[in-house]
Structure 1
Amino acid sequence: MKVNNSCMNRPNVLKEVQLMNSLNHPNVIKLMGVCVHNGQMHALTEFANGGCLEQLINNHSVEFQWIDRINIASDIARGLNYLHSKFIIHRDLTSKNILLKIDPSQTITAIVGDLGLATKVKDLEKESSLSVVGSPYWMAPECINGLPYNAKADVFSYGIVLCEMIARVEADPDYLPRTENFGVDYVAFGKLAKDCPINFLQFTFNCCQVDPVKRPTFNDLLSSIDVI
């Protein structure tokens, strides 16, 4: 249950519930129902028994195989590609908002959650003066600078999530090396990722380019991640 304790947040909860109710994809959080208690609306979603990706990344007592990291990257890309196909920009993609389901065979499935800041647009490629929302460590440079942005902002956030997985570090710039223009310091980060498959590392860096025009779309990324 996603509990909402604020009366002021009621319109946003209703918007998120309506949005989730229109979606159906194995890598996007499923709405199961709505509970109204004391005048407040709470969303009931599918249960993710593996917690969130951030917890797995930071729990160094648990082995995190490269095949699992790449499969999770694939799942996230599929979820985001589906949202973009519906002209929805997530705008708050973080490792906290990626939930994990683990089946009896220990296979991990990643699902994109928390659509509270997601918004529909008419054109995914057109840069629009949308409100600046999201979590700063994952936010695309154009968003941080208050510039118009498009769906490629989600691609940058995705790249930061992949960096977290690759190096098993927090997105905080104190741990994940960043440049002054809010990009990723590829040289410094490479030292944290010496055992990463080179094609997966390049895949990640392509997503983290400061210039949104140079970032691939999620449709492009799906072809690349399948090869990896």
Structure 2
Amino acid sequence: MVTRVWYAVPTQVSKVPTTASLGNGIWELEQEEIVLLTELGSGQFGVVHLGKWNGQYDVAIKMIREGAMSEDEFTEEAQTMMKLNHPKLVRLYGVCSKSYPIYLVTEYMPNGCLLSYLRSHGKELQLLQLLEICYDICDAMTFLESCQFIHRDLAARNCLVDSNLTVKVSDFGMTRYVLDDLYVTSLGTKFPVKWSAPEVFHYTKFSSKSYVWAFGILMWEVFTLGKQPYKLYDNMQVIEKVSQGYRLYRPQLVSDIIHQIMYNCWHELPEKRPAFYQLLSFFEALREDNRA
């Protein structure tokens, strides 16, 4: 029998509310219902706290860092999360938008950021667990692909690990809905170069296939246990080298077949890269083979 708990979790798993408890489309929470506890982390746009909701539920509360982004941008992230409901996406419980700062209240993921987790605990993980991580993320991305959403910032740093070590995709601040699977930004738009496909850094064209490329980079992060891609190169050097056909080296833990999948994700032509649903089938078969 295989269990998803890969090593003992020292903290007791808290009760988890369901989104349905908020009522039919009612996402506004009262700030008085939320008690802020410890700070979990901070980034360019905001700070995240562990908190208690209604005195019983552990939640994560994201707040805007003053002056870092507009309230409209922050609200847009909440509206995106409201439209998306999947077991491998971090769940939104509600927002506190009637007073400043605005709170975005989501499920709490006790084991934190996947990148940090890989660096701290990666050597404890077996091949099957690494495959499970890739499967979880691919499952989420297949769902987003089917809903015509593109994430635009897929990386290990933007995935979180729950108490059962299920991995979920988070950070929806750059997610966009696209009718024709193509989103073209204005010049000057910021994007993570080392996770970006050639059509992104040359033409700022985003599609589900450009995030298949990013998924290939994320696979590399997983199988190197959290190493930094293109560590020896700055962004301009990465653009030059990738444009010339350079690709990341094969991680030591990667088999021939997994390495081939990585390379397929990094095909120069977007239409030659696999779709997420095809990658999901691959990982489903591969993890079953490794369970046998």
TM more than 0.5: yes
CA contact (8 A) 1:184 1:208 kept: no
Q: Provide closer, same or farther for how the CA distance between residues 161 and 183 of structure 1 changes in structure 2, counting only shifts above 3 A.
A: farther
Q: Write out aligned runs for 1:1-228 (5 A).
A: 1-6=61-66, 8-36=69-97, 38-59=99-120, 62-103=123-164, 108-124=165-181, 127-131=182-186, 132-174=189-231, 180-181=241-242, 185-186=246-247, 189-190=249-250, 193-228=251-286
- The alpha-carbon deviation at position 22 of structure 1 amounts to 1.6
- The alpha-carbon deviation at position 182 of structure 1 amounts to 5.0
Post-superposition CA distance 1:119-173 (Å, at most 9, x none): 000022xx44234443222122211112433211111111101011112243341
Q: What TM-score comes out, normalization by structure 2 length?
A: 0.68
Paired residue type of 2:284 = D
CA contact (8 A) 1:164 1:170 kept: yes
- The alpha-carbon deviation at position 117 of structure 1 amounts to 0.5
Paired residue type of 2:180 = D
- The alpha-carbon deviation at position 181 of structure 1 amounts to 2.4
Q: CA RMSD in A?
A: 2.4
Using the aligned pairs only, state the percent identity: 28
Paired residue type of 1:162 = M
Task: Give the distance between the partners of 1:71 and 1:162, measured in 2 at CA.
Answer: 11
SS at match of 2:168: strand
Task: Give the distance between the partners of 2:84 and 2:207, measured in 1 at CA.
Answer: 21
Post-superposition CA distance 1:59-91 (Å, at most 9, x none): 267412111111110110110111111111000
Contiguous gaps of at least 5 residues in structure 1? none
SS at match of 1:189: coil
- The alpha-carbon deviation at position 175 of structure 1 amounts to 5.6
Specify the structure having the higher radius of gyration (Cα): 2
Post-superposition CA distance 1:36-80 (Å, at most 9, x none): 475231201001111111102222674121111111101101101
CA contact (8 A) 1:2 1:42 kept: yes
Q: What TM-score comes out, normalization by structure 1 length?
A: 0.86
CA contact (8 A) 1:117 1:133 kept: no
Q: Provide closer, same or farther for how the CA distance between residues 47 and 137 of structure 1 changes in structure 2, counting only shifts above 3 A.
A: same
CA contact (8 A) 1:98 1:112 kept: yes
